[in-house]
């Protein structure tokens, strides 16, 4: 596939030196391994290799969702790709699904749901976080099916009709405070993923959903990177050791 003016390209020199750029005339990519004139990328093909001004190899790759998420500005804690990807699958995210999210934070979840083809409605109480997320998504054209709502998730039932959403992902400080309003706007039988950082919050959440949702499961996703070298392949020594816990519940009508 050809790289055109306006294309997004991941310039990959090594794991520490990789950056998504938009190809534009008159702009350059710069790192400690040298510069690349971006207008020289027009007409090349993804997968090709070019040389920086200092003679290092740079690969021209197509950005993936993970590359995009890791290039976002972050103002908050985020739900990492390993976790949000599993949530999306467990909840059945996909084209045509109407998804509720709170809080928006830096937009990692918003962008993932949008990438999966969902219509996303995301609630955030802090204007500056909403703006950061909005800019993050706009930069990569992921904002088209997203409605950003500057309000507490507690108010969702005042903004949307009953049984409007197919699924929800909730990552706010006190999730038990939004359970009643989220229940109102979800379709019967639909799934919700809550994201919490501690065991005691899982316990509190489980008690709080009783009668409105059934508890499906709680889990932690571990990711262990490997350093692959002939005759010496082993786990890497450093990395993210803990992110959080997800709880999956489903709406029921017990009345
Ligand atoms: C940890 S961040 C969410 C990060 C997001 N999941 C991501 O991956 O980018 C939590 C956000 O929830 C917002 N928040 C807290 N309580 C809220 C509420 N009741 N309604 C909506 N947003 C809320 C905070 O301002 C904060 O931006």
For 91-100, write each residue's pLDDT tens digit. Answer: 999 999 999 9
Q: Name the residue of 125, 133, 134, 244 whose CB sits within 8 Å of the most ligand 1 atoms, as the mutation to test its pocket.
A: 125
Half-sphere exposure for 63 (CA within 13 Å, toward CB): 24
Q: Which protein residue has the closest C-alpha to ligand 1 atom 23?
A: 103
* Residue 142 pLDDT greater than 80, yes or no: yes
CA angle 31, 34, 35 (to 5 degrees): 85
Torsion sign (Cα): 186, 189, 190, 195: positive
- As a whole number of angstroms, the distance between CA 68 and CA 64 comes to 6
pLDDT band at residue 254, thresholds of 50, 70 and 90?
confident
Q: Classify domain 8-63 by CATH number.
A: 3.10.330.20
Residues 180-236: pLDDT tens digits?
999 999 999 999 999 999 999 999 999 999 999 999 999 999 999 999 999 999 999
How much of the chain, in percent, has pLDDT values that exceed 70? 100
Reported ipTM: 0.99
Give pLDDT, residue 152. 98
> Can you tell me the distance from the alpha carbon of 23 to that of 246, in angstroms, rounded to the nearest whole number?
38
Ligand 1 is surrounded, with C-beta below 6 A, by 76-79, 102-103, 105-109, 123-126, 129, 152-154, 171-173, 178
Q: Where do the CATH 3.40.50.150 domains begin and end in the chain?
A: 67-251
Testing ligand 1's pocket by substitution, the residue of 124, 133, 147, 192 carrying the most ligand atoms inside 8 A of its CB is: 124
Q: What is the pLDDT of residue 137?
A: 98
Query: Rounded to an integer, what distance in angstroms lies between the CA atom of residue 89 and that of residue 208?
Result: 25
Instruction: Please tell me the distance between residue 220's alpha carbon and the centre of ligand 1 in angstroms.
Output: 20
Cβ atoms of residues 65 and 10 within 8 Å:
no
Phi, psi (deg, nearest 5) at residue 128? -65, -30
Taking residue 130's Cβ as centre, other Cβ atoms within 10 Å add up to 21
Question: Per the CATH hierarchy, to which homologous superfamily does domain 67-251 belong?
Answer: Vaccinia Virus protein VP39 (3.40.50.150)
User: Ligand 1 atom 7: the closest Cα is on which residue?
Assistant: 78
Task: Give yes or no for residue 144 having a pLDDT over 70.
Answer: yes
Q: pTM for the complete prediction?
A: 0.96
Annotated binding-site members for S-adenosyl-L-methionine: 124, 129, 171
């Amino acid at each position: 596939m050809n790289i055109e003016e306006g294309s997004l390209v991941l310039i990959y020199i090594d794991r520490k030196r990789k950056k998504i750029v938009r190809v534009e005339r008159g702009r350059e990519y710069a790192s400690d391994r040298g510069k690349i004139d971006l207008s020289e990328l027009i007409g090349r093909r993804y997968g090709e290799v070019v040389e920086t001004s200092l003679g290092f190899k740079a690969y021209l790759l197509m950005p993936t969702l993970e590359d995009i998420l890791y290039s976002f500005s972050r103002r908050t804690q985020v739900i990492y790709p390993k976790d949000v990807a599993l949530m999306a699958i467990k909840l059945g995210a996909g084209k045509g699904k109407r998804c509720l999210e709170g809080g928006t934070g830096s937009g990692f979840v918003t962008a993932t749901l949008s990438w999966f083809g969902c219509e996303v409605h995301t609630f955030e109480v802090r204007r500056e976080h909403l703006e950061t997320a909005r800019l993050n998504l706009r930069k990569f054209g992921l904002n088209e099916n997203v409605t950003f709502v500057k309000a507490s998730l507690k108010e969702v039932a005042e903004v949307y009709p009953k049984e409007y959403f197919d699924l929800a992902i909730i990552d706010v400080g006190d999730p038990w405070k939004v359970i009643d309003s989220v229940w109102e706007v979800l379709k019967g039988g639909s799934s919700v993923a809550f994201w919490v950082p501690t065991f005691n919050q899982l316990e509190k959440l489980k008690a709080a959903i009783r009668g409105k949702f059934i508890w499906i499961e709680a889990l932690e996703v571990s990711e262990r990177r490997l350093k692959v070298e002939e005759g010496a392949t082993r786990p890497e020594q450093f990395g993210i050791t803990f992110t959080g816990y997800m709880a999956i519940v489903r709406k029921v009508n017990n009345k």
